[in-house]
Each structure stands twice: as C-alpha cells, then as structure tokens.
Structure 1
C-alpha cells in the first residue's frame, strides 16, 4: 500500500469517526456487520489490532486520549522511560554536586587547620616556595 492510499484511508477514517455519533443505529449495525464479514474474509497471516470492544461498540466511539482501551499504555511506553531518564540525570547531578561540596569542605578544613596565615596562600612567592620544596 503506497502513501497516497494510506493518506486516503486515514482521511476516510477520520471523516467517519467525526460523524459516528450522528449515524442512526441501523447504519452502525450494518457497518458492524460489514466489518465482521470483512474480518471473516481477512487473510490469516495479516495481524489485526482491533479489540473486541471496538467490534461490539461501533456506535459508542470515545474520541481523544482514551479512544481505545490500551492507547494510554502506548503513550506510557514512551513517557515512562523518559521520566526515568530525567530522574536518573537529576540523581547523577545531585550526587556530583554533593561530591563537589564535600571536596570543597575538605579543602577548606585543611586550609583553616594549617598553621600558615591565609595571606601566605595568596602570595606568588609562596607558590614558588612550594614548587621548590617539592623538588
């Protein structure tokens, strides 16, 4: 089936679904019977994604998010992994921030507990002294 056929089928389906509630009961019964007959002639190897409730309730069409019983499950298959991914990223960010804060606190504690005055750390000559001392 090419894309033009698919687009036509979608447009026909959409037009029928818009006016489904306005159809008389006799028309919906005939449509349901025609659908059952078509389903009986369907090839065995072609899968069908139609629930029994859709076959039985041709006149009770609920448009929108809950148009079929499992449509929200399809949306949740995408939403749940995305939410898990976002939650995982937030968790990793929080963990890294806590590690950074702990490292800064350790550095601050080491600087404050040292015997040198804070001004010594700002002196450029002190950095040269530390480099010479390590060699």
Structure 2
C-alpha cells in the first residue's frame, strides 16, 4: 500500500469515527458486515518457518571471521570505480594537452609567417584557422 493510499485510509477512518454516533443503525450494520468480510478475506499468516544456518565463532559476533570475503566484495566495487575515475581523468588530460599543442602549433605558424595585416582581417583566413583546429 502506498503512502498516498494509507493517508486516504486514515482520513476515511477518522471521518467515520467522528460521525459514528450520527450514522443510522442500518449503515452501522452494513459497515460491520463489510469489516467481517474483509477480515475473512485477509491473507492468513504462514506457519512455515525457514531454517537458516549461521556460522559463528564463540565470543566473536560480527567479527571478520563471520564474513571472510566481505572485504573482497567491497574491493570488487571500489577497484572498478577507481579505475573508471583514473581513466576518465587521463582521457580529459590527454585531450586538453592535445588541444593546447594544436593551438600552440597554429600560433607558432602564424607568428613565423610574414603575413600582411589585411590577412588577419580576411574571413577566409579565420575559416582556415578554424578548420585547422578541428
């Protein structure tokens, strides 16, 4: 039962309890019979019991010896996460360095060439530089 349904049921119960004295006898009888019917249809409690073996060392409840592979399970989750973080960081650093190297190469080529000032104002030259960056 969801929280919303449970809140609705509490509100209905509260409203019925407030006006219980004002209800006619026939309505009260109908509600009592509906309650009996609902209780008869309720799931019965299971009498089956399950035996679960538990290994324990005397005097050491909750110690490392009760769960010998729990640290392996934690490492099984932690190691891939660390590898993922290191891998993504390495890829980011590599791409940043590549972008810096490309920009430095373009800047060095522009500074080494003897171009007239009008070349820097040309839209074609800007398009050429943009195409080299890609």
Give the TM-score range, shorter chain.
0.3 to 0.5
Report which structure shows greater RCO (CA 8 Å, sep ≥6).
1
Which is helix-richer, 1 or 2?
A: 1
Q: Computing the radius of gyration over CA atoms, which structure comes out larger, 1 or 2? A: 2
